[in-house]
Structure 1
Amino acid sequence: MGKSYGEEFILRPGAKLHLDRIDPSYHGKHKSHETAAPAIAESLAQMKRLQELLYADAKQSLLIVLQGLDASGKDGVIRHLFSGMDPQGTWVYGFKQPSAEEGAHDFLWRVHQHAPGNGQVVIYNRSHYEDVLVVRVHKSVPRKVWSKRYELINDFENMLTAHGTRILKFYLHISPEEQLERFKRRLDDPARQWKISESDYAERLLWPKYMDAYKEAIERTSTKRAPWFVIPANHKWFRDLAISQIIADTMSEMDLKTPSPRVDLSAIRRKYHAAANEQQGG
Structure 2
Amino acid sequence: MNLDQYKATPDKPLKEYATAPQNPLDKKAAKKALKKSRKELADFQERMYAHDRHAVLVCFQGMDTSGKDSLIREVFKDFNVRGVEQHSFKVPTELELSHGYLWRHYIALPSKGHFGIFNRTHYENVLVTRVHPEYLLSENLPDIHKPEDADDEFWNMRFEQINNFEKELVQNGTKVFKFFLNLSKEEQKNRLLRRLRLPEKNWKFSAGDLKERAIWDKYMHAYEQAIQHTTTPQAPWHVIPADDKPMARYIVCQILVEQLSKLDDVKFPELDEKTASRLDEFKNLLNNE
Does residue 24 (structure 1) correspond to residue 19 (structure 2)? The answer is yes
126-135 vs 183-192, which deviates more? 183-192
Task: Give the Cα separation in 1 of the matches to 2:12 and 2:103.
Answer: 29
Q: Find the aligned partners of 1:110 and 1:201 in 2 and give their Cα distance.
A: 28
Structure 2: how far apart are the matches of 1:4 and 1:72?
22
The CA distance in 2 between the partners of 1:251 and 1:23, in whole Å, is 25
Q: Distance in 1 between matches of 2:166 and 2:212?
A: 29
- Return closer, same or farther for 1:113/1:263 CA change in 2, 3 Å cut-off: farther
Instruction: Provide the residue aligned with 1:4 in structure 2.
Output: 2
Q: Give the whole-Å Cα distance in 1 for the aligned partners of 2:174 and 2:78.
A: 21
Displacement after TM superposition at 1:84 (Å): 1.0
Shift in Å at residue 273 of structure 1?
6.3
Q: Determine the structure 2 residue equivalent to 1:223.
A: 232
Deviations 1:234-282 (A, max 9, x none): 00011011101001111211112111125732464476368569x66xx
Deviation at 1:76, TM superposition (A): 1.2
Aligned: 1:169 with 2:169: no
Residue 17 of structure 1: how far off its partner (Å): 2.5
Shift in Å, 1:116? 1.1
Q: Alignment identity in percent?
A: 35
What are the residue-to-residue correspondences of 1:1-282 with 2, within 5 Å? 4-5=2-3, 7-12=4-9, 15-26=10-21, 28-140=22-134, 141=136, 142-143=150-151, 144-255=153-264, 256-261=266-271, 264-266=274-276, 268-269=278-279, 272=282, 275=285
Change (3 A) 1:269 1:110: same
Name the SS of the counterpart of 1:150 in structure 2. Answer: helix
TM-score (norm 1): 0.91
Aligned-residue CA RMSD in angstroms? Answer: 1.9
SS in 2 for 1:97: coil
Deviations 1:77-133 (A, max 9, x none): 111111111100011100111011001100000001111110000110001100000
Distance 2:34 2:95 in 1: 41
Q: Report how many residues are paired.
A: 273
Which stretches of structure 1, 4 residues or more, deviate above 6 A after TM superposition? none
Is the CA contact (8 Å cut-off) linking 2:20 and 2:243 kept in structure 1? Answer: yes
**Which whole-Å CA distance do the structure 2 matches of 1:107 and 1:190 have between them?**
38
Is the partner of 1:254 in helix, strand or coil? coil
Partners of 2:262 and 2:210 in 1: how far apart?
41
Is contact 2:25–2:247 with CA below 8 Å preserved after alignment? no
Residues 135, 146 of structure 1: 8 Å contact kept: no
Unaligned runs of 5+ in 2: 137-149
CA distance in structure 1 between the partners assigned to 2:104 and 2:58 by the alignment = 16
C-alpha separation between the residues in 2 aligned to 1:162 and 1:145? 26
